[in-house]
Amino acid sequence: MMRLSVRYSSIPLAVRKEIESWIPIKPHRDPNHPSRVAFLEAMGRIAHAWGGGCLSSCYKNYLTHLEFCCRLGHTFRATPAVILSGQFCPLCHSHSASVWNEIQEFLVERGWECLSEGYTHSNTSLHWRCEKGHEWKVRWETVRSGSGCPHCYREKRCHSLEDMQQLAASREGLNNLPSKQKCNFSQMLWLQ
């Protein structure tokens, strides 16, 4: 458990005291059993020590998500196991915050928008909007590694019938082009 780790000493003292006061409950208790109510109150005290609160009204077990809010008003879901390990709001967490700042700088460079509320972790897809207004969802790591707007990519790679007619005319092959394109995959006859 977190209490034995080196990082535990970096947690605020009030939070450490609340975590240390936590007593595990026996499994298979009635949902309204006093020990479950006491456990939920302990989660509330730990959240309060972080400057937030526990928004959940019942506790099921150690691995079932509860809803919390942080001092900045972010709402998030986390298991008691995560809270007792010394973690709290993923948006306020230093790594998440630094990644979110990196994303904001990237958005300014590209002229894009991120429609998601924040960065949680690397497996979460974010909602993006490019400078042309196209929207899509993909993980930050995918975008950071060079992937751009899939719609703009398709527009660059796929040529319209008019583009093909202009190209054919420049190569003196316009007479054999169809007047209407059937689909993107239909082949066009080129004269050399």
Same domain assignment for residues 99 and 58: no
Total of domains in the chain: 2
One domain, residues 63 and 100: no
Structure-model confidence comparison of residues 86 and 95, the more confident one? 86
Same domain, 52 and 105: no
Helix, strand and coil percent figures for the chain, each rounded to 5: 40, 10, 45
| 74 shares its domain with 12 | yes
29 and 77 fall within a common domain? yes
Residue 112 lies in domain = 94-154
Q: Quick check: 16 and 24 in contact, CB under 8 A?
A: no
User: Average pLDDT in the 142-166 region?
Assistant: 81
Helices 34-49, 13-21: inter-axial angle, 10-degree rounding: 170
More confident residue, 57 or 172: 57
In this predicted model, what pLDDT tens digit does every residue of 124-140 receive, in sequence order? Answer: 899 999 999 999 999 98
31 plus 52 within the same structural domain: yes
State the Cα–Cα distance between residues 17 and 14, nearest whole angstrom.
5
The reply to whether 169 falls in a domain is no
Which of the pair, 130 or 180, is modelled with greater confidence?
130
- If residue 78 lies in a helix (H) or strand (E), which one and from where to where? strand 75-78
Task: Tell me what the mean pLDDT of segment 99-104 comes to.
Answer: 84
Say whether 48 sits in a helix, a strand or coil. Answer: helix
Whether 10 shows a pLDDT value over 50: the answer reads yes
* Mean pLDDT across the chain: 78
pLDDT given for residue 179 in this prediction: 60
